Amino acid sequence: MKNKRKKHEAIQGIAFLSPAIIVIGIFIMSSIIFALYISFHKVNLFTGYYEFIGLDNYKRIFTDTKTRIAFINILSFVVVVVPIQTIIALIMAAVLNTNIRGKIGFRTIYFLPTLTSSAALTMIFMFLFSLDGPVNKLAVNMNLLSESINFLNNPKFALKVIMSMNIWSTVPFYMTIYLAGLQEVPKSIYEASSVDGANGFQKFIHVTVPQLKPITTFVLLMGIIGTFQMFDQAYIFSGGSGGPENSTLTVALLIYRNAFGQNNTMGFATAMSIMLSIVVFIVSFIAQKLNKSDSLY
Amino acid sequence: MNKKSKKLKWLLYAILIIYGLVTLFPFSWTVSASFKSYKEITGGGLNLIPKQPTVHAFKKLFMIDPNFLRWIFNSFYICTLGTFINVFLNSMAGYSLARLDFKGKNVIYYGVLISIMVPGQVLLIPNYLIVKSLGLLNSYNAIILPAAVNATYIIMMRQFYINFPKDIEEAANIDGLGRLGTFLRVSMPLAKPAIATQAVFIYLGFWNEFLKPKLYLSDPSKYTLTVGIQSMMSRYSGITQWDEVMAASLISLLPILIIYIFLNKYFMQGIRMDGEK
């Protein structure tokens, strides 16, 4: 009797799980194996012919000029964007956590960029930075610029526009994570440091920052993973080309171009995607270790 | 001391307001540009309020553009269907992992956990080939099906049902409801907050998705709003009609903004849940 009930429960359990198992099984688990398989082959998309070429795709990653440019672009992107967005998010969370009026109103406004789709967001920033756009006009009117700059087509500025857009749109998300973390910091520590005569700034440096370290690790990891995979903004900004002069070519965009272009480079693109995952994993691991062993505080 | 803390308060307010302006600046220009004529955008000065406000851009989008209404419909269709399927399947899977006992459950649980960590780029190409071989290219299902479950929310629902008392379900069971009946009529309604939280984020995710619709939908009448807006760039011999593009961006923001205003609480809960992992 008991055995029968157990069997019944097992059938129910599997039945409830089966849709999830099927979707994850096909589109994630078997896809990983499929990806490894593709990465050792030269794929002809039109005939569907797979030719085994061993490690050639992986070797090509180290010699391909565009790949090098894309990796350098995305590394500089991560190095600039992740620290800045983390610091701004931390400061804004600390400011919002003080007992000041109108906090909820400010928080609601700040969250707007996170809700906006990357497509709409990129269009808005392209308008702002266009030749006749408000940023140029404002800068010229205030005599900061002698004449309008074509931010969108100038390789010196294109990636920087995307960087500022990315920081602007991700800060609110991380700020909210920090705000949640601040609720957990015991009030007694702040009180004790007040007794010791610490001012607001000292409390921030000596209490808030060290107390939030686990959350900082999480924010850094999320930031690194997110920025390394940046695609939408780079694609829309350059109309898919990665231009001007490859200055907005990211690894994810290059993977897309190689995978779905005309050049039978799907295997190469897959190898590059596996390489990107390994790089993200290593950088995340280092960031986590660094933040833990950071003995400054 | 008092004077000092007053000074600090002013400093805090200054930071809050400046950051608020930084946040609002792009949006205010979006609203402004969508009510200006193309001529005023490219020629005029720095006035935020249009000199001759016009709804010309909106009129063109809704009345002349052959596809704009279709894109809005497509986005709503994919989001709504996708969110419904996700909420059901995630909740069922999470419930099963928390409440039901069977062999191999732990293996499946770890499989779900691992699947959260796999980067999207690795899956992009195999998923495309699978979708293609299933004959789903250029259909809404190409976007909905591979995203029919979300591992993060399976784990969230599992957590919810583990912490949730069993008594009520057992009572329903004694009253003669079967497992599925109990799940649909008792367990699901009781999980309302957790369901609302995942629904909001899944909806937002589908609404803002760009890469997949771009990759899978080739027929302009099948585009979602995000891909549609992108296709409006430079479509008239390289010149971008900023008034139309800004109006379209504004429209794409509105539904999410409305959901956010009404369900603000669930957005914050969702982030907190992610943040405390």
Backbone Cα Rg of chain B? 24
Record: contact B124-A112, CB cut-off 8 A: no
Does B5 score more than 80 pLDDT?
no
* Tokens encoding B255: 């539904």
Q: How many CB pairs under 8 A join A and B?
A: 253
Element (H, E) at A50: strand A49-52
CB contact under 8 A, A168 and B22: yes
pTM, rounded to two decimals:
0.93
C-alpha span between B30 and B41 (Å, rounded) = 11
pLDDT at residue A145 is higher than 50? yes
Question: Residue B195: how many CA atoms within 13 Å on its side-chain side?
Answer: 18
Compute CA B122 distance to the chain's CA centroid, rounded to the nearest angstrom.
Answer: 22
Instruction: Give me the amino acid identity at A233.
Output: Q
Nearest neighbour of B256 by CB, restricted to A10, A115, A235: A115
Q: Decide if pLDDT at B83 tops 80.
A: yes
For residue range A249-262, list pLDDT tens digits in order: 999 999 999 999 88
- pLDDT-derived band of residue A198, with 50, 70 and 90 as boundaries? confident
Cα R_g (chain A), whole angstroms: 24
Interchain pair A38, B125: CB under 8 A: yes
Q: Is residue A297 predicted with pLDDT exceeding 70?
A: no
Residue B236: pLDDT band by 50, 70, 90 thresholds? low
B-interface mutation test, from A8, A17, A150, A285, most B Cβ less than 10 A away = A17
DSSP per position, chain B: -HHHHHHHHHHHHHHHHHHHHHHHHHHHHHHHHHTS-HHHHHHS-S-SS-SS---HHHHIIIII-SSHHHHHHHHHHHHHHHHHHHHHHHHHHHHHHHH---TTHHHHHHHHHHHHHS-HHHHHHHHHHHHHHTT-TTSTHHHHGGGS--HHHHHHHHHHHHTS-SHHHHHHHHTT--HHHHIIIIIHHHTHHHHHHHHHHHHHHHHH--HHHHHH--SGGG--HHHHHHHTTTTBTTB--HHHHHHHHHHHHHHHHHHHHHHHHHHHHHHHHHHT-
Determine the pLDDT at residue B237.
Answer: 58
Q: What is the C-alpha separation between A153 and A131, in angstroms, rounded?
A: 10
Residues of B within 8 A of A212 (CB-CB) are none
* Beta-carbon count within 10 A of B163 CB: 8
| Distance from C-alpha of A14 to C-alpha of A25, rounded to nearest angstrom | 14
Would you state the structure tokens that stand for residue B71, as one six-digit string? 């894109």
Give tens-digit pLDDT for B87-103.
999 999 999 999 999 99
pLDDT band with cut points at 50, 70 and 90 for residue A295: very low
**Pairwise CB contact (< 8 Å): B260 & A111:** yes
Half-sphere exposure of A280 (CA within 13 A, CB side): 25
Tell me what the mean pLDDT of segment B111-123 comes to: 92
User: What is residue A243's predicted lDDT score, i.e. its pLDDT?
Assistant: 84
Give the whole-number percent of chain A exceeding pLDDT 70: 98
Closest chain A residue to the Cα of B31, Cα to Cα: A124
pLDDT at position B81, please?
A: 98
Q: If you average pLDDT over every residue of chain A, what do you get? A: 92
CA distance A211 to B90: 34
CA nearest to B13 within chain A: A100
Q: Which residue of B has its CA nearest to A134?
A: B46
> Which residues of chain A lie closer than 8 angstroms to B268, CB-CB?
176
ipTM: 0.92
Residue A214 touches chain B, beta carbons under 8 Å: no
Q: Does A124 touch chain B (CB under 8 A)?
A: yes
Contact A276 B92 (CB under 8 A): no
pLDDT above 60 (res A52): yes
**A64-73, A249-258, A280-289, B217-226: which range is least confident on average?**
A280-289
Residue A43 per-residue DSSP state: E
What is the pLDDT, as a whole number, of residue B17? Answer: 96
- Lowest mean per-residue pLDDT among A192-196, A290-294, B118-122, B151-155: A290-294
User: Is A215 in Cβ contact with B96 (below 8 Å)?
Assistant: no
Q: At what angle do helices A213-228 and A266-293 cross, to 10 degrees?
A: 160
Does the pLDDT value for residue B72 go beyond 80?
yes
Interface of A with B in 12-51 (CB under 8 A): 12-14, 16-17, 19-21, 23-24, 26-32, 34-35, 38
Place B275 in a pLDDT band, splitting at 50, 70 and 90: very low
A97-119, pLDDT tens digit by residue? 988 888 889 999 999 999 999 99
In the stretch 184-203 of chain A, residues with CB closer than 8 A to chain B read 199-200
Which residues pair with residue A44 across a beta bridge?
A49
pLDDT at B6: 83
Q: Can you tell me the distance from the alpha carbon of B251 to that of B241, in angstroms, rounded to the nearest whole number?
A: 16
User: Taking a C-beta distance cutoff of 8 angstroms, is the pair B275, B156 a contact?
Assistant: no
B34-47 pLDDT, tens per residue?
999 998 988 877 88
Tell me what the mean pLDDT of segment B196-213 comes to: 95
Question: What are the phi and psi torsion angles at B5 (to 5°)?
Answer: -70, -30
Chain A contact set for B252 (CB, 8 A): 117, 119-120
Q: What is the pLDDT of residue B238?
A: 67
* Residue pLDDT, tens place only, B148-165: 999 999 999 999 999 888
B196 vs chain A: nearest CA distance in angstroms?
Answer: 17
Among B157, B150, B95, which residue's Cα sits nearest to residue B120? B150
Range B118-130 average pLDDT: 95
Interface test with B, best of A28, A99, A128 (most B CBs within 10 A): A28
Q: How far is B160 from chain A (nearest CA, A)?
A: 16
Distance of alpha carbon A108 from alpha carbon B199, whole angstroms = 20
Contact A168 B148 (CB under 8 A): no
